[in-house]
């Protein structure tokens, strides 16, 4: 991106104001080094010039796709600011199953400790910033594409940009819309501010600076229509597109995002039926019912299963193949529908600590896990709910095995002595690239999943239950778990749910196991307003992290605070209440 973004050095000075202004208010084209190579005379070009240069258009599109792994987007070298995976780890830490047993070395502690989540917090300042900067890259490319006459390239590139933009707006809408917390002070504040049903401002390639200065948070119905419109156009653009690599979205990816947004809408209208009437009164979407939304979610999930060519990971593939070097680090994985490709050059820029592999893989020695004992663990309560028939259970070290050699039970490239140092409940799901444990230029260059086929099976199961009845959903879930996640020749998986709500929680439990460390379940917790429970007798959550949200409400910290810098340049913005320490920490009692 351009020079204005390179001025992100001292974030506590007024320079940040200009940067935020550029992100939230302007869709003007900002140069990058690739464009400077195409136009070497003065290192600049007009949108019209860019649109007439294949080289420049390719560079702009690649800048959008590569933003998944954008390092230091905010400019303050925040520990989580190494791309989409870093923000997903933050969101995972907001739930209950992604813990760091050594809190002194926890780089993702803000949501875990529920501290410093309001004004001037790193989390508040960086999160929306990353999303809007990503959107800005897509908008700039869309602007340039309007000036090109090459129809095929134009529509394919447009479809790719719209797909990424839709994903980012879906994230923004779900993170920032305020849901009731059960905390009187916060809910009353939200009521007084009138922010019920508001998501985030929409900025497109056509948004002017003047409009941006008075750009209110979009109501949920406006945001839903906008996202669906982007995805519908992307579906048209990519209908005949054959992608060269899986970091480029295709029809299956678009349909996967469709499944996600329809599931979101179904849950909303099931919980808040009046919101459906509000949507139909203000848009031309004409949605008949929550059940119709769930039916759409099931339909799109099934489309992805049929058209993607992806298949759920086998036990061998999950644990890294014959030599335990593969698994969750290579975009060629058979279950990955969409992902980000990280090159050695990008890994070298990010460094050994501020990167995904350096924070989550216990088998490497270049990051913070072994060097600082910053291992990542699953919650005790969830681990104990994984039956022994489920081969995923040995993804985490059982307490009775901690301090012992791995034997044949655990698949790892660690030596016996190295394995003995790993604490209980630590996850060994993610691998160093090519099994390289010490050279971070190689080992940290791991690809990152954005969408896996397993998610579509689980979306389908929930959506079928909600649209066709509990028994239909249960059968889909039982088939998936028994076929793909249970050991051969063991008792088949049987759903224990007797109500739709119980079944939704059962499906989410499977997601919590399946997508640990992948940033998926935050959306489900907030969508269904599930209780986060880290404080209980025998918990392995460290003291300072044992927060339990109120049953039947959204966890306060999942209503993410909007940076106060936005108020400086957008007079229409209304900030969420500060969720910092809104709930007291759970204390054990005799």
- Please give the pLDDT value at position 33: 39
Instruction: Tell me if residue 179 falls in helix, strand or coil.
Output: coil
Joined together, the tokens standing for residue 356 give 């995904």
Terminal-residue alpha carbon distance, the chain:
57
Per-residue pLDDT tens over the stretch 234-261: 999 999 999 999 999 999 999 999 999 9
Cα distance between residue 52 and residue 117, in whole Å: 45
For helices 251-271 and 521-528, what crossing angle results, to 10°?
Answer: 30
Cα distance between residue 515 and residue 511, in whole Å: 6
**Beta bridge mates, 452:** 336
DSSP 215: -
Joined together, the tokens standing for residue 434 give 């090519």
- Please give the pLDDT value at position 351: 74
Mapping DSSP onto H, E and C, the string for 290-354 reads: HHHHHHHHHHHHHHHHHHCCCCCCCHHHHCCCCCCCCCCCCCCCCCEEEEECCCHHHHHHHCCCC
Joined together, the tokens standing for residue 281 give 């009164």
Written as tens digits, the pLDDT of the chain (590 aa) is 233 233 332 232 233 333 334 444 333 323 333 444 444 444 444 555 555 567 888 999 999 999 999 999 998 889 999 999 999 999 999 999 999 999 999 999 999 999 989 988 899 999 999 999 999 999 999 999 998 877 788 999 999 999 999 999 999 999 999 999 999 999 999 999 999 999 999 999 999 999 999 999 999 999 999 999 999 999 999 999 999 999 999 999 999 999 999 999 999 999 999 999 999 999 999 999 999 999 999 999 999 999 999 999 999 999 999 999 999 999 999 999 999 999 888 887 777 888 999 999 999 999 999 989 999 999 999 999 999 999 999 999 999 999 999 999 999 999 999 999 999 999 999 999 999 999 999 999 999 999 999 999 999 999 999 999 999 999 999 999 999 999 999 999 999 999 999 999 999 999 999 999 999 999 999 999 999 999 999 999 999 999 999 999 999 999 999 988 888 889 999 999 999 999 999 998 85
Please provide the DSSP assignment of 134-177 as one string. Answer: HHHHHHHHHHHHTT---HHHHHHHHHHHHHHHHHHHHHHHHHHS
Per-residue pLDDT tens over the stretch 176-219: 999 999 999 999 999 999 999 999 999 999 999 999 999 999 99
Q: Residue-wise over 168-203: b if at least 16 C-beta within 10 A, else e?
A: bbbbbbbbbbbbbbbbeebbebbeeeebbbbbbbbb
DSSP 451: E
With 0-12 CB in 10 A as exposed, 13-18 as middle and 19+ as buried, what is 407? exposed
Cα distance between residue 354 and residue 366, in whole Å: 11
With 0-12 CB in 10 A as exposed, 13-18 as middle and 19+ as buried, what is 274? exposed
Cα distance between residue 450 and residue 61, in whole Å: 18
Long-range contacts of 328-333 (CB under 8 A, 24+ apart): 328/429, 328/430, 328/431, 328/446, 328/449, 329/357, 329/430, 329/431, 329/432, 329/433, 329/446, 329/447, 330/433, 330/446, 330/447, 331/245, 331/246, 331/247, 331/447, 331/449, 332/246, 333/449
- HSE at residue 27, side-chain half, CA atoms within 13 A, is 19
For 487, other C-beta atoms within 10 Å of its C-beta total: 13
Please provide the DSSP assignment of 361-429 as one string. Answer: -TT-SSSSHHHHT---B--HHHHHHS-TTBGGGGGB--GGGTTS--TTTS--SS-HHHHHTSPTTBB--
């Amino acid at each position: 991106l351009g020079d204005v973004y390179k001025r992100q050095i001292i974030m506590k000075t007024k320079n940040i104001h200009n940067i935020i202004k550029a992100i939230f208010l302007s869709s003007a084209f900002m140069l990058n080094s690739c464009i400077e190579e195409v136009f070497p005379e003065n290192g600049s070009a007009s949108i019209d010039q860019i649109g007439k240069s294949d080289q420049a258009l390719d560079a702009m599109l690649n800048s959008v796709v590569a933003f998944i792994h954008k390092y230091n987007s905010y400019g303050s070298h925040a520990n989580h600011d190494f791309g989409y995976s870093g923000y997903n780890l933050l969101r995972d830490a907001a739930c209950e199953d992604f813990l760091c047993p050594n809190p002194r070395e926890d780089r993702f502690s803000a949501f875990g400790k529920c501290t410093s989540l309001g004004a001037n917090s790193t989390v508040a300042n960086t999160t929306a910033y990353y999303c809007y900067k990503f959107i800005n890259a897509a908008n700039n490319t869309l602007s340039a594409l309007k000036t090109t006459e090459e129809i095929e390239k134009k529509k394919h590139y447009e479809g790719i940009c719209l797909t990424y933009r839709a994903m980012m707006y879906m994230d923004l809408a779900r993170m920032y819309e305020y849901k009731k917390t059960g905390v009187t002070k916060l809910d009353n504040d939200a009521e007084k501010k009138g922010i019920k049903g508001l998501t985030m401002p929409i900025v497109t390639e056509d948004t002017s600076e003047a409009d941006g200065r008075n750009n209110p948070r979009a109501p949920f119905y406006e945001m839903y229509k906008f996202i669906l419109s982007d995805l519908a156009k992307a579906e048209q653009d990519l209908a005949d597109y054959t992608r060269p690599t899986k970091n480029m979205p295709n029809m299956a990816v678009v349909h996967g995002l469709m499944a996600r947004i329809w599931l979101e809408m179904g849950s909303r209208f099931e919980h808040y039926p009046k919101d459906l009437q509000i949507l139909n009164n203000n848009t031309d979407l004409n949605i008949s019912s929550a059940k119709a939304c769930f039916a759409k979610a099931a339909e799109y999930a099934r489309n992805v299963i049929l058209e993607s060519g992806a298949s759920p990971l086998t036990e061998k593939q999950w644990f890294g193949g014959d030599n335990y070097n593969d698994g969750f680090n290579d975009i060629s994985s058979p279950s990955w529908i969409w992902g980000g490709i990280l090159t050695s050059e990008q890994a070298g820029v990010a460094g050994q600590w501020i990167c995904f592999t350096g924070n989550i893989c216990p088998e490497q020695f270049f990051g913070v896990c072994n060097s600082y004992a910053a291992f990542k663990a699953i919650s005790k309560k969830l681990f104990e709910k994984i039956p022994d028939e489920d081969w995923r259970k040995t993804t985490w070290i059982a307490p009775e095995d901690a301090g012992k050699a791995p034997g044949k039970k655990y698949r790892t490239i660690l030596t016996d002595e190295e394995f003995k140092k790993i604490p209980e409940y630590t996850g060994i799901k993610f691998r160093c690239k090519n099994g390289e444990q010490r050279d971070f230029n190689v080992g940290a260059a791991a690809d990152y999943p954005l969408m896996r086929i397993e998610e579509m099976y689980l979306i389908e199961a929930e959506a079928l239950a909600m649209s066709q009845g509990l028994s239909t959903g249960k059968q889909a879930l039982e088939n998936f778990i028994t076929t793909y996640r249970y050991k051969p020749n063991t008792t088949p998986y049987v759903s224990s749910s007797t109500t739709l709500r119980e079944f939704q929680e059962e499906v989410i439990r499977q997601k919590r196991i399946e997508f640990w460390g992948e940033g998926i379940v935050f959306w489900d917790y907030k969508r269904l307003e599930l209780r986060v429970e880290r404080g209980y007798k025998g918990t392995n959550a460290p003291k300072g992290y044992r927060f339990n949200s109120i049953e039947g409400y959204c966890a306060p910290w999942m209503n993410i605070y909007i940076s106060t810098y936005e108020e400086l340049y957008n007079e229409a913005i209304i900030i969420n209440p500060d969720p910092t320490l809104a709930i007291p920490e759970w204390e054990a009692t005799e």
